[in-house]
């Protein structure tokens, strides 16, 4: 060990395969057990949502007369009703299988978590970049706009939008899903815009931007090829924390009875949501607590999974930030 | 300094104006008027509808209705000037006939104190929840920081993480089912809200998220303070550990915690509507959800504006509290 073969050292240095920043971050993420667990749980819910028709043991719309509020086989309810082994989590007020309904309910939560987040990221990034890069009066106007939206209590905004516009034209599109997406996106782009604006303001002073400008790069090239890739880390982290917030919001709206109305049409993709299921379950807390409990557990699980993934992503993408939050 | 305070307070005016404008536009664009939406209710004939609309000013153009709602307008039936939002008048409720929105929210039942009003109930619930959050949150954070990277720290962090991410109504569902329905420790059906024991569950559930947040904030502030030179100096001159922790560390570590108390209270008062509905609590949030389910547009609108006002004032109070409490922060004039 004392005498080293110089050729070998050189060989090691030269032939170490280069790894991109993304690959480095990915490797760091995979070393974080909690983040991997979160990722696995989210993937499982996503697969369950996509293949709900195959995963669900029963038809979620099948009404079984005389089998109302059956407790699950493993649980003895206070009413001593004989459970049916066919229904693993019991039945609801119309004798429909709770497990299948919860599985179908994951579709709404997944879609509400992902699609508005995409819109929020696109809109927020664009406005934040323009505001930070242009500066001056445009920046001032856009930032005052974000201040006002920030001041509006967001849950109240969603509630009044869903209450007032549910019967309008846009409220009827895709069973209210379009309206929900729009409401969620209108409020939430603000956080992303502020984040990106801050990034742009600090990055545009950096030497590499100056260098790019020196060799004659256009503004849009500097913005999208130089500044944006360097802001991706915080953007990904904020996306991971936006999604659980949206899922919770949808559940709250459903629970208040102003979310997506449950559908009885078998051709519908989105039959019910976890929030709507919890609203159903509230009336039978003693006889059939699993109608309330199962969607609540799902919400808690997916929200924790996103939190762990978000924490892991933050540590992986910016190792200097580790443990400061 | 005074100029900064004034500027921040004046900024509330455009914010609240915009909030009421947005709320007004959204609520007014709801299809159908306040009298024709429910099929099972008594239908109004055309002549009555016309005089009702005239009385409530609904026959006027939109901008005029908004001016009437926020500022003043002359009632075309009674010929009286009626002052709007700026005088604290939120207008009549569309569903609870003969009552104004502000009287539903703020007036106590006859011969009762202010605390018995709907707002008073919500405020008391918020204060109880906040006390719970502070009494448990700060010690958890302090212990977690002092015993960093031990089992205690991990338990504290787990409570903090789950409390912050899992929403309170999901937590409420778990607690109600486990303690109320299965173990039977707590009565779910409440006889009277005058008895303290019924307040424990809703306050605990409502305050759990704030407790988790307080714990995490205290922990990170303590960790920062513990590494300061003056703490090392205090130890070096031989002060008792108790004195170092309470006088030197805690006093400084609590600055961020104290500043969030205002917004935390506002968040608890305005964010309690789900918990209030679950426990059939006679507060403002319960009235709000009831208004949503009955489509009582003026009630929804009025409560939203009140909620927005509370949140805006609370957010303002953080910045002001920071300047007042922390001498290290000096504003450049």
In A, which residues are within 8 Å of B177 by CB distance? 285, 289, 292-293
CATH number at residue B121: 1.10.3720.10
B264 domain-assigned: yes
Domain count across chain A? 1
A167 domain-assigned: yes
Quick one: what percent of chain A has pLDDT higher than 90? 28
B63-121, pLDDT tens digit by residue? Answer: 888 888 888 877 777 777 878 888 888 888 877 777 888 888 888 888 888 888 899 99
Structure tokens at A51: 């293949």
Q: Is A247 on the interface with B (CB under 8 A)?
A: no
Is there a contact between B277 and A256 if contact means CB atoms under 8 Å apart?
A: yes
Average pLDDT, chain A: 84
Test mutation, A90, A152, A321, chain B, max B CBs within 10 A: A152
Residue range A66-95: mean pLDDT, rounded: 74
| pTM: predicted TM-score of the whole model, two decimal places | 0.84
- Which residues have a Cβ under 8 Å from the Cβ of A47 and sit 6 or more positions away? none
Closest CA–CA distance from residue B19 to any residue of chain A (Å) = 6
Higher model confidence: residue B75 or residue A240? A240
A77 domain-assigned: no
Beta strand segments in chain A, E: none
- Which residues have a Cβ under 8 Å from the Cβ of A173 and sit 6 or more positions away? A179
Test mutation, A163, A187, A283, A290, chain B, max B CBs within 10 A: A163
- Closest CA in chain A for residue B169: A252
A144 domain-assigned: yes
Q: Are B125 and B114 in contact (CB under 8 A)?
A: no
Is there a contact between B167 and A307 if contact means CB atoms under 8 Å apart?
A: no
List, as one string, the DSSP characters of A103-152.
Answer: HHHHHHHHHHHHHHHHHHHHHHHHHHHHHHHH-HHHHHHHHHHHHHHHHS
A86 domain-assigned: no
B85 domain-assigned: no
Whole-complex ipTM? 0.80
Residues A35-45: b if buried by 16+ CB within 10 A, e if exposed: beebbebbeeb
pLDDT tops 70 at residue A78: no
The DSSP letter of residue B228 is S
Q: At what angle do helices A228-256 and B168-175 cross, to 10 degrees?
A: 40
Rounded CA-CA distance B285/B277 in Å is 7
B260 domain-assigned: yes
In B, which residues are within 8 Å of A296 by CB distance? 170, 173-174
- Closest CA in chain A for residue B218: A325
In B, which residues are within 8 Å of A325 by CB distance? 220
Give the A window 100-159 contacts with B, CB below 8 Å. Answer: 147-148, 151-153, 155-157, 159
CATH number at residue A309: 1.10.3720.10
Rounded CA-CA distance B107/A104 in Å is 45
The DSSP letter of residue B249 is I
A309 domain-assigned: yes
Residue A8: predicted pLDDT: 56
The residue range of the domain holding B263 is 114-289
Is there a contact between B173 and A278 if contact means CB atoms under 8 Å apart?
A: yes
Q: Give strand pairing partners of A97.
A: A91
Residue A325: predicted pLDDT: 42
Domain count across chain B? 1
- Closest CA in chain B for residue A325: B220
Is there a contact between A256 and B311 if contact means CB atoms under 8 Å apart?
A: no
Higher model confidence: residue A178 or residue B4? A178
The residue range of the domain holding A204 is 32-57+96-321
Q: How far is CA B11 from CA A206, B15, B16, B307, B320, in A?
A: 34, 7, 9, 17, 14
B18-57, pLDDT tens digit by residue? Answer: 888 888 888 877 765 566 555 555 566 778 778 877 777 7
A222 domain-assigned: yes
pLDDT tops 50 at residue B333: no
Is there a contact between A152 and B308 if contact means CB atoms under 8 Å apart?
A: yes
A27 domain-assigned: no
A268 domain-assigned: yes
B62 domain-assigned: no
Q: Residue A73 class from Cβ within 10 Å (0-12 exposed, 13-18 middle, 19+ buried)?
A: middle
């Amino acid at each position: 060990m004392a005498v080293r073969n110089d050729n070998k050292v050189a060989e090691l240095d030269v032939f170490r395969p280069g790894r991109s920043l993304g690959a480095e971050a990915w490797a760091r993420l995979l070393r974080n057990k909690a983040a991997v667990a979160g990722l696995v749980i989210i993937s499982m819910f996503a697969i369950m949502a996509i293949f709900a028709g195959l995963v669900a043991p029963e038809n979620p719309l099948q009404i079984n007369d005389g089998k109302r509020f059956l407790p699950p086989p493993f649980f003895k309810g206070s009413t001593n009703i004989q459970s049916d082994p066919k229904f693993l989590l019991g039945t609801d007020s119309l004798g429909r299988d709770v497990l299948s309904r919860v599985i179908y309910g994951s579709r709404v939560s997944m879609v509400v978590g992902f699609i508005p987040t995409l819109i929020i990221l696109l809109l927020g990034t664009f406005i934040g970049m323009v505001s930070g890069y242009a500066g001056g009066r445009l920046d001032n106007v856009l930032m005052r706009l974000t201040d006002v939206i920030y001041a509006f209590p967001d849950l109240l905004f969603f509630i009044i939008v869903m209450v007032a516009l549910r019967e309008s034209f846009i409220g009827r599109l895709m069973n209210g899903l379009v309206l929900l997406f729009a409401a969620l996106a209108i409020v939430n782009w603000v956080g992303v815009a502020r984040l990106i604006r801050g990034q742009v303001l600090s990055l545009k002073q950096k030497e590499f931007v100056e260098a790019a400008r020196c060799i004659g790069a256009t503004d849009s090239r500097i913005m999208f090829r130089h500044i944006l890739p360097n802001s991706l880390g915080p953007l990904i982290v904020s996306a991971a924390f936006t999604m659980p917030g949206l899922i919770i919001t949808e559940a709250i709206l459903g629970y208040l009875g102003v979310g997506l109305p449950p559908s009885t049409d078998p051709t519908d993709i989105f039959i019910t949501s976890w929030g709507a299921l919890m609203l159903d379950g509230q009336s039978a807390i003693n006889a059939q607590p699993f109608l309330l409990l199962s969607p609540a557990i799902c919400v808690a699980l997916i929200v924790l999974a996103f939190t762990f993934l978000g924490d892991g992503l933050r540590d992986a993408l910016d190792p200097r930030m580790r443990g400061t939050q | 300094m005074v100029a900064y305070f004034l500027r921040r307070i004046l900024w509330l005016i455009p914010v609240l104006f915009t909030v009421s404008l947005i709320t007004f536009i959204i609520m007014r664009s709801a299809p159908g008027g306040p009298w024709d939406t429910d099929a099972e209710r008594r239908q109004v004939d055309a002549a009555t509808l016309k005089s009702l609309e005239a009385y409530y000013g609904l026959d006027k153009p939109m901008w005029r209705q908004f001016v009437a709602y926020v500022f003043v307008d002359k009632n075309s039936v009674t010929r009286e000037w009626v002052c709007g939002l700026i005088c604290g008048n939120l207008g009549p409720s569309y569903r609870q006939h003969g009552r104004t929105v502000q009287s539903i929210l703020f007036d106590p039942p006859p011969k009762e104190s202010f605390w018995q009003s709907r707002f008073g109930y919500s405020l008391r619930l918020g204060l109880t929840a906040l006390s719970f959050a502070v009494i448990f949150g700060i010690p958890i954070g302090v212990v977690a920081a002092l015993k960093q990277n031990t089992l205690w720290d991990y338990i504290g962090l787990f409570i903090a993480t789950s409390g912050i991410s899992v929403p309170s109504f999901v937590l409420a569902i778990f607690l109600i089912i486990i303690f109320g329905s299965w173990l039977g420790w707590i009565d779910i059906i409440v006889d009277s809200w005058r008895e303290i024991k019924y307040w424990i569950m809703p306050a605990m559930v409502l305050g759990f998220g704030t407790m988790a947040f307080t714990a995490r904030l205290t922990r990170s502030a303590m960790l920062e303070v513990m590494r300061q030179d003056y703490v090392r100096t205090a130890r070096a001159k031989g002060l008792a550990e108790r004195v170092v922790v309470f006088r030197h560390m805690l006093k400084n570590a609590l600055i961020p915690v104290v500043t969030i108390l205002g917004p935390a209270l506002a968040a608890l008062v305005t964010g309690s509507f789900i918990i209030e509905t679950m426990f059939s609590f006679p507060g403002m949030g319960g009235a709000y959800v009831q208004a949503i389910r009955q489509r009582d547009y003026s009630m929804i609108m009025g409560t939203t504006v009140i909620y927005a006002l509370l949140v805006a004032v609370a957010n303002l109070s953080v910045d002001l509290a920071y300047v007042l409490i922390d001498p290290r922060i000096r504003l450049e004039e």
